[in-house]
Amino acid sequence: MILVTGGAGFIGSNFVLDWLAHSDEPVLNLDALTYAGNLHNLDSLRGDPRHVFVHGDICDRALLDRLLAAHRPRAIVHFAAESHVDRSIHGPAAFIRTNVQGTFTLLEAARTHWQALPADEQAAFRFLHVSTDEVYGSLGPQDPAFTESHPYQPNSPYSASKAASDHLVRAWFHTYGLPVLTTNCSNNYGPYHFPEKLIPLMIVNALAGKPLPVYGDGSNVRDWLYVKDHCSAIRTVLARGRVGETYNVGGCNEMTNLEIVRTVCALLDELRPDPAGPYSRLITFVKDRPGHDRRYAIDARKIERELGWRPAETFATGIRKTVQWYLDHPQWVAQVQSGAYREWMATQYPSAHAKVA
């Protein structure tokens, strides 16, 4: 069995589904079910004995100790995190609690569990920490892409909290010998993505005829990784990664935010035409957020060279699958658009919200 934290969130739930599609090894799924955690993402696993769900917090040491003792997982895959930059600007405390204190608590529980294992199980145990390229800071237009040795220069409360968690994981390896692995990924997109993030927000707003809010001039650049490619990379690192190493995971798709939005609009024009006209008419430029990093870019040659992993999807194929998934799952979209979500949108994009109120 493996323990997955945050397995009801966007990437975590995709990973659980992907894992059980490729393996019969059971998953113990621990998730606090905060606003972005959604058990409906895992509806297809209802009644599946390979999936054991526990509603709980990674800051709860007593719970972690009980779960590790009862289930004796051979590996921990740690997704659980607060992950939205805008939310971290408005409320950084939750990010420090989950991403820093939570990772520390999980590491300590894992260390105690690991140290008590027989020698052969100790040697096989792994703690895989899933992190982000945002810890590296911002790049200029011509700067080389982030490698695993790039200095950490986080610029938001979110990225600073993830950088802190990365450092804790590294320290628990060097100080205590805990067999850790770290992955730093670029922007993910795909099914089950909570619609506060760029791509699902654009799809959902466009279908509702609402403004498509784009920060600043829309020229911020990100590398985009289809979530199922990310899941395959994590499986690969868990299986064959060198203990103590970090692996950057990217999609080889650098694009500006405005290019992303226009691509989504063009696909919707094709797949679900709006009689009122092209969806691009809804693009609305809004005030840029504080400390908005200009460019991220991932150099993923290490994971390809050492482990033979490359993304299977191009951006063209991945974004088409993503848009079609949202068109095919209106009930999921309606379910996540709760009152709490609408209140968040009103806080984050007040001018855009006012235009559709």
pLDDT tens for each residue of 293-336: 899 999 999 999 999 999 999 999 999 999 999 999 999 998 88
* Residue 357 pLDDT: 26
- HSE of 49 in the Cβ direction (CA atoms, 13 Å)? 0
Q: Of 3.40.50.720, 1.10.10.10, 3.40.50.1110, 3.40.630.30, which CATH number belongs to 2-189+225-251+296-313?
A: 3.40.50.720
**What positions carry a catalytic annotation?**
133-134, 158
pTM for this predicted structure: 0.92
Would you say the C-alpha torsion 68, 71, 77, 81 has a positive or negative sign?
Answer: negative
* Residue 350 pLDDT: 61
Residues recorded for the chain: 357
* Residue 335 pLDDT: 85
Cα Dmax for the chain: 67
Q: Does 195 have pLDDT greater than 90?
A: no
Q: Which of 53-62, 79-88, 343-352 tops mean pLDDT? A: 53-62
- Cα 194 from chain centre: 10
pLDDT band at 87 (very low <50, low <70, confident <90, very high): confident
Taking the C-alpha atoms of residue 38 and residue 12, their distance in angstroms, rounded to an integer, is 10
Over residues 238-266, the pLDDT tens digits come to 999 999 999 999 999 999 999 999 999 99
Tokens of 334: 């309606």
Q: Which helix (H) or strand (E) holds 53?
A: strand 51-55
Over residues 6-61, the pLDDT tens digits come to 999 999 999 999 999 999 999 999 999 987 788 999 999 999 999 999 999 999 99
Tokens of 115: 């140290």
Q: Which helix (H) or strand (E) holds 335?
A: helix 330-336
Taking the C-alpha atoms of residue 100 and residue 96, their distance in angstroms, rounded to an integer, is 5
Domain spans, the chain: 2-189+225-251+296-313
